[in-house]
Structure 1
Amino acid sequence: MAEHYSSFERGGRRWLFQRLTAVFLIGVLAFHFVLLHFVNHAAEVSFAGTNIRMSQIGYFATMWLFLVTATFHGVNGVYNALVNMGISGTRKRVVGGVLALAGVLLVVQGTRVAIAMTNLI
């Protein structure tokens, strides 16, 4: 029988956060598809409409949480895939640092764009 191997520690926080972010992402993606593909058809989506939606604090907060959650889920998933492939030592630390920096930069730039799309500030 095949041996089970995972870079996640059983019962660890990263394992739990990977699963929780997946559940959150499924829910927010469903919300996105219903709102922007069924309620408002693609041809009706405009910059002005986006500005109106993003100016609602609840929508803005949901989209910002979507950004942060998707970034964590993706970065954590890539890191753990590389660890499962056998990366270790200095390479593991460098990859972890590069991915963490990329994640922070993505969240910062995404936040800047989200704020620019609002009338909140």
Structure 2
Amino acid sequence: MAEHYSSFDRGNARWFLQRLTAVFLIGVLAFHFMLLHFVNHAAEITFMGTQARMSQVGYFGTMVAFLVTATFHGVNGVFNALINQGLDGGQKQAVKWVLVVASLVLIAQGTRTALVMAGII
């Protein structure tokens, strides 16, 4: 039988956070689909309705948390997939920092959009 290989060392922080964010994302995606696909159908979704939802503190917080956890989960998964493909040394450091900067830009822009939708800025 082939030996199991993973760039995730079981028990470290990134391994744990990958699993924790997966559980959170499953729950938030279920909430999203229920609210925006079954309670309100796609044809009923409007800009004003989005603004009304985003003006609620709980919904706003959930969506910002969704943004941050989805970004971490996706970027961490991509980074570890690249490590599994043999990325190491200077290339690993360069890719890591490019992904960190891209993540921060994505989170900043997503938060800015959420704040505009909530009518805060």
Q: Same fold (TM over 0.5)?
A: yes
Over residues 22-63 of structure 1, what are the superposed CA-to-partner deviations in whole Å (9 max), with x where a residue is unaligned? 000000000000000000010100000000000000000000
> After the TM superposition, which residues 1-121 of structure 1 pair with which residues of structure 2 at under 5 Å, given as runs?
1-121=1-121
Q: Percent identity?
A: 68
CA distance in 1, matches of 2:104, 2:3: 35
CA distance in 2, matches of 1:59, 1:66: 10
> How big is the shift at 1:120?
3.7
Moved over 2 A (4+): none
CA distance in 1, matches of 2:82, 2:76: 10
Over residues 48-97 of structure 1, what are the superposed CA-to-partner deviations in whole Å (9 max), with x where a residue is unaligned? 00000000000000000000000000000000000000000000000000
Structure 1 vs Structure 2 CA RMSD:
0.7
Q: Secondary structure at the match of 2:3?
A: coil
Q: Work out the number of aligned pairs and report it.
A: 121
